[in-house]
Amino acid sequence: MGIMHPALLFVIGAVLAAVLNGTARKVALVAIPAVAFVNVGLMEPGTYGELSYLGFHLVTGQVDKLSLVFLHVFTLMALIGAIYGLHVADRWQPVSGFLYVAGSLGVTLAGDYLTLFIFWELMAFSSAFLIFLRRRPESLRAGFRYLLMHTLGGLVLMAGIFLRWQQTGDLAFGPIAPEAANLAAYLILIGFALNAAVPPIHAWLPDAYPESTVMGGVFMCAFTTKTAVYVLARGFAGYEVLAILGAIMTLYGVAYAIIENDGRRILAYHIVSQVGYMVCGVGIGTALAVNGAVAHAYAHILYKALLFMGVGAVLEMTGTCKLSELGGLYKRMPLALVATVIGGIAISGFPLTSGFISKSMVIAGAGEAGRTVLMLMLTLAAVGTFLSVGIKLPYYIWFGKDSGVEAKDPPANMLVAMGIAAFFCIFLGVYPDYLYKMLPLPVEYHPYTAYHFSETIQLLGFTGLGFYLLRKKMTPKPKLNLDVDWLYRTPASTLMRWDKGWVSPANEWVGEVYRRVGYRFALASAAFWSRFDANAIDGVVDGLATSVRDTGDLVRRTQTGRIQQYIAFGVAALFAVLAVAVSF
């Protein structure tokens, strides 16, 4: 399986990031993902790392075309993210990031549910620190909410795994046919769907990602949701519920992105939308649709990371990414502008970009399967994507009214990372066979048809015209948009206030009563039972033992070895028995 398990490489990288300093640390941060990327290229399909533990058959290395394409883009993204964060002085950010990547790679290679679950939880806990490490009150609260939601999802996933093991006696991770799905399968599906941010269990994503560190946001946009897409594609392809929910996701995320003001919240909602294409493709389940979902996951990781890097650079250099506070930065951050625009046109599906060759495959898969309604929903979402990310985001940050905010282009390492991601966004669009050859299922698809090209140009052209006509009404406003997380955040806040006002004081009162009364009673009771044990229990036991010992001594003294005495004792015993018998 190449040099070694790539997850182990990143665990080693996390240790090196924690202990090394200066140039040695920077070299390690780049070398580890680079070695992992080469390692993935050396992998051959097969099953590796099989072992038995507590009666379970575990597989830590299940390599096939599906896992390889995700391993390829995950390690490439880890390299880009590491370069982007080279200037970060906080050593714990790359430590958390590398452990996060290790969890994602471990899930991708897992051939059994136990191994998958261990790495799944490693992803959740390590990624939470990428939010905590921003060290703002808002980030701490968002991080705890993120961790609680993923802990809940992990518990649901664990319940499904246990039920499945109880029913089948097998922990192998593989496809579950829709007609064979039972409670265990749907619990596992829900656990996976939470990480894919499928509504209504999606609000943790736009809540948490904007509160992460600048470096952390680049990592988080790439791994959690796409790892979820991978496990859904491996285990639950062809599930109708995924096809429907995925199509809803595409429109839901776009709708919120259009009205958002914070640049990173716009991108976070667009993760929900773009992952919707992947979930829908997996749910449709045909070879073309699944290939489209996988191709779109690959492309999305790169262009979404590029967008998060561009907006993150703005946040790093200006201290804000709220569109209402920005404008006119094209004169001050021209290189970041170019990179972000490339990401924007790629996510919008412009010809000669990665989005054009991946998103269209999912839409074509829906059409091939006769899912006309789904196809129309996916197409409409593509219009909203260009409107909100392709036009609105760069326009109000780099153009529009000059805000007067002083800024400059970010450090060289950030620009290099953005350059690599931008290159792949264009390269995949120009040479799609590079990606298509990696896809798991044999399918013929040609994106550059006259119909597809003209359709795309018309959709994008009319969308641009619509923005121009409505640009004043679309001016961002500093306001809060409520999502379904309000349904649990508000009751939770009420519960916490109630706990602080009533439950905690009552608990303290009970504790004080126990300390004054219960504790003393417990000590007195213990002393009484100690004396009872010493005087009564031990007395009886010791007395019985003494009696047995004395009887044994008496019997021992009667054993003289003289036959005459034994006969005398026997005759005496006989007469005693006869006397007792006669008396009755």
In tens, the pLDDT along 195-243 reads 999 999 999 999 999 999 999 999 999 999 999 999 999 999 999 999 9
Residue 270 near residue 381, CB atoms below 8 Å: no
Say how many CA atoms lie within 13 Å of 456 toward its Cβ.
Answer: 23
Helix, strand, coil tally for the chain in percent (to 5): 75, 5, 20
pLDDT at 53: 81
pLDDT at 377: 95
- The candidate with the shortest Cα–Cα distance to 78, out of 110, 32, 42, is 32
- Please state, in angstroms and rounded to a whole number, the distance separating the CA atoms of residues 364 and 519: 72
Say how many CA atoms lie within 13 Å of 320 toward its Cβ.
Answer: 15
Higher pLDDT, 456 or 495: 456
pLDDT at 191: 97
> What is the secondary structure of 306-329 as a DSSP string?
HHHHHHHHHHHHHS--BGGG---G
Residue 60, helix vs strand vs coil: strand
CB atoms within 10 A of CB 311: 25
Q: Which of 151-165, 410-424, 444-458, 553-567 has the lowest mean pLDDT?
A: 553-567
pLDDT at 509: 77
Residue 45, helix vs strand vs coil: coil
**Residue 65 reports pLDDT greater than 90:** yes
pLDDT at 548: 57
**Residue 264 reports pLDDT greater than 70:** yes
CB atoms within 10 A of CB 163: 17
- Distances in Å between the alpha carbon of 94 and those of 131, 307, 388, 520? 13, 20, 31, 52
- Please state, in angstroms and rounded to a whole number, the distance separating the CA atoms of residues 517 and 520: 5
pLDDT at 572: 59
CB atoms within 10 A of CB 178: 16
Mean pLDDT of 341-364: 94
**Residue 353 reports pLDDT greater than 50:** yes
Residues in the chain: 584
The residue to which tokens 């906080």 are assigned: 90
Q: What is the mean pLDDT of the chain?
A: 89
Mean pLDDT of 42-48: 92
- The candidate with the shortest Cα–Cα distance to 80, out of 339, 417, 310, is 417
> Looking at the DSSP assignment, which residues form a beta bridge with residue 63?
46
Mean pLDDT of 386-392: 90
CB atoms within 10 A of CB 56: 14
Confidence of residue 248 (pLDDT cuts 50, 70, 90): very high
Higher pLDDT, 580 or 534: 534
Confidence of residue 466 (pLDDT cuts 50, 70, 90): confident
> What is the secondary structure of 190-245 as a DSSP string?
HHHHHHTT-TTS-THHHHHGGGS-HHHHHHHHHHHHHHHHHHHHHH-TT-HHHHHH
pLDDT at 473: 78
Encode burial over 464-492: b for 16+ CB neighbours within 10 A, e otherwise.
Answer: eeebeeeeeebebeeeeeebebeeebeee
- Please state, in angstroms and rounded to a whole number, the distance separating the CA atoms of residues 421 and 301: 9
Q: Which of 252-266, 277-291, 421-435, 519-533 has the lowest mean pLDDT?
A: 519-533
- Please state, in angstroms and rounded to a whole number, the distance separating the CA atoms of residues 445 and 365: 10
> What is the secondary structure of 233-287 as a DSSP string?
HHH-TT-HHHHHHHHHHHHHHHHHHHH--BHHHHHHHHHHHHHHHHHHHHHH--H
Share of the chain above pLDDT 70, in %: 89
Would you state the structure tokens that stand for residue 299, as one six-digit string? Answer: 């492309």
Q: How far is Cα of residue 250 from the mean position of the Cα atoms in its chain?
A: 20
pLDDT at 252: 95
Confidence of residue 580 (pLDDT cuts 50, 70, 90): very low
**Residue 519 reports pLDDT greater than 70:** no
Higher pLDDT, 2 or 278: 278
Inter-axis angle of helices 92-109 and 6-19, to 10 degrees?
A: 170
pLDDT tens digits along 408-423: 999 999 999 999 999 9
Q: Which of 67-71, 318-322, 364-368, 553-557 has the lowest mean pLDDT?
A: 553-557
pLDDT at 503: 72
Q: Which of 376-390, 438-452, 461-475, 562-576 has the lowest mean pLDDT?
A: 562-576
**Residue 164 reports pLDDT greater than 70:** yes
- The candidate with the shortest Cα–Cα distance to 205, out of 187, 188, 193, is 193
Confidence of residue 379 (pLDDT cuts 50, 70, 90): very high
pLDDT tens digits along 524-534: 777 776 776 66
- Please state, in angstroms and rounded to a whole number, the distance separating the CA atoms of residues 292 and 243: 13
**Residue 569 reports pLDDT greater than 70:** no
Confidence of residue 552 (pLDDT cuts 50, 70, 90): low
**Residue 437 reports pLDDT greater than 80:** yes
Confidence of residue 430 (pLDDT cuts 50, 70, 90): very high
> What is the secondary structure of 386-403 as a DSSP string?
IIIIIIIHHHHHHSSS--
- The candidate with the shortest Cα–Cα distance to 326, out of 401, 229, 243, is 401
Would you state the structure tokens that stand for residue 338, as one six-digit string? Answer: 């170019």
